Structure 1
Amino acid sequence: MADWNPGAYLQYTDERSRPFTELVARVPGSPTTIVDLGCGPGHLTPVLRARWPEAHVTGVDASPAMIERAREADPGTEYVLADLSTDEHRADLVISNAALQWVPGHRDLLTTLADRAAQTFAFQVPGNHDAPSHRLLREVAARAPYADVVGPVERRATADPGEYLEILARPGWSVDAWETTYTHVLHGPDPVLRWISATGAQPTLQALEAKDPALRARFEEEFGAALRAAYPEHAHGTPLAFRRVFVVATRV
C-alpha cells in the first residue's frame, strides 16, 4: 500500500494513545534501552520518557512519512526506517502499539520478538476485526465497481488473549494477557469514517484513489452512509466501541 498519512492518524491522538499508556503502566522494572516497533509519528515516545526518563529509546517504523514526522517532532530520539518483520533491534524492553496486526503472520513472529527483549516484550493490537466498522468496510468494498479495484479486503484478525498466552508462555517467561473494550465518544461530521480512514480503511482508499479520485469519493459516500447507520450520533457525540488486546511477557 502507499504511505501512511501522519496528519490523519493524529486526528484522534488522545483516543489512540490511551491503550499505549495503559500498556506501559503494566510493564515492570526499569529498562535502560527500549525499542518501539511501529512507533508511528513518534507521538507516544513522551509516554515512554515519562515512565523511564533515563532510558535510550529507538523508534522503528516501516513508513517513511511516519519516520520523517517523528524525526521532525522529536530530533533527540533515534528513529529508524525498517520493516517490523525483519528488524533485529534488541533492548531491555521491546514494545509495540497497534502495529503488529499489519505484519503478515504476526503470530509466528512473536517468540522471535520476545527473544530480542532482555527483560520484557509488550504489545497491544486491535481486536475489532468483526466490529461493524470493519465488517462494513469489507461489505462495501466487495460491491461493484470497487471490488474490481481493491479485491477482497483482508480480515486482519488478531488473536484473543488466551491464544497469545499460549504462544508466549514458555519456560523462563511470565505472561500477562488481557483485553479492554473502550467506548470512545467522537465528535464532528462522519467521525467513525475519519477514524477508520486513517487506519484500517487506508489501503482500500489508497487503491481507489490511485485508480480514480472520483471512485474513492463515491466509495467514501457509500461507506460513510453505512457507518452513520451503524454508529448513530447522539446528543453527547458518536460512541465507537473499540476492543484491544494486550500482552506483557516478562523474563523470570
Structure 2
Amino acid sequence: MSEAIGPQASLWSCFRIQTRVIGALMLREMGTRFGRDNLGYVWLFLEPMMLGGAIGAIHHVTGHSLPGGLEPFTFWVIGYIPYYLFRGIVNRAPAGIVGNQSLLYHRRITVFDIMLSRHLLEGAAVGTALAGYILLFGATANIWPAEPGKMVLGMALMLGLSHGIALLIAAGSVYTELFDRITHLATYLSISFTGAFFMVFWLPTEMQKAVLTIPTVHCFELVRNGLYGTLVPTSFDIPYVTGWVAALNMLGMAALRKARRHLIV
C-alpha cells in the first residue's frame, strides 16, 4: 500500500516513496532494454571483450607493446568499459524524456526520476561487467586491482559526468530533434580524446596539460591507477572532476525543470 504524501509527510517518508518510484522505473527499463531473456547482458559483456581482443591481437601479431610494459588485452578492455558507460548514457539521452513522456501522467514520476533510473541501471550493468572482467583477469593472468576503491570512484565520477551531460541533452531534445541527430556522431568522435585508449604519461608535456582539461581523462586515469597502482604513472585531480560533475548536474536539472513546462502529458 503506497504512502500518502500530505503536508505533514516527513523527509524520510518522501525519500522512501521516491526510492520505490525509481526502483519501479529501473525494473521497467530493464525489461525494455534487455528483454525477458536478458540477451542484452550478453552483448554488454561481448562488446568490450571483442574490441579489446581485436586490438590486443593486433598488438600481439605486430609485436607492438604498450608503454610501461602493460598487457594490451587488459588495457584495452579496462579502457573501453568506462567509455561504454559514457557512450551508453549519452547516446540514449535524446530519447530519455520524449520516449517516456507518457509516464509523466503519474504525478509522483518526474523527468529527473526517469533519467536517474535509466542511468543507475546503466551504471549497475556496466559495473557488473567490470567486476566480471576483473575476476577474469585475476583468475587467468593474476592481474588484480592494486586499489579497487579507486576503480569504483573513477567509475562513479564517470557516471556522474555522463548523467549531467545526458540531462542537458535530454532537455535540449524537448525543443529540437537536432540533439538526436548529432549525439551519436559526437560520442564516436569523442573516443579519440576522452582518454579511453591512451594514458597521459604517453604524451608530450604540453599535450598532457591540454588533455588534463578534459574531465573524462581524469576518470580513466583514476580507474587505471586503481588497477595498476604504482606500476605506471597516472595523472588525475578528483576535486576538478567533482566540480565538473556538480556543475553539469546543476545545469542539467535546471534545464530539465524548464523543459518540463513544454511537455504535454
TM-score above 0.5: no
Q: Which has the higher helix share?
A: 2
Q: Which has the higher strand share?
A: 1
Structure 1 length-normalised TM = 0.28
TM-score, structure 2 as length reference: 0.27
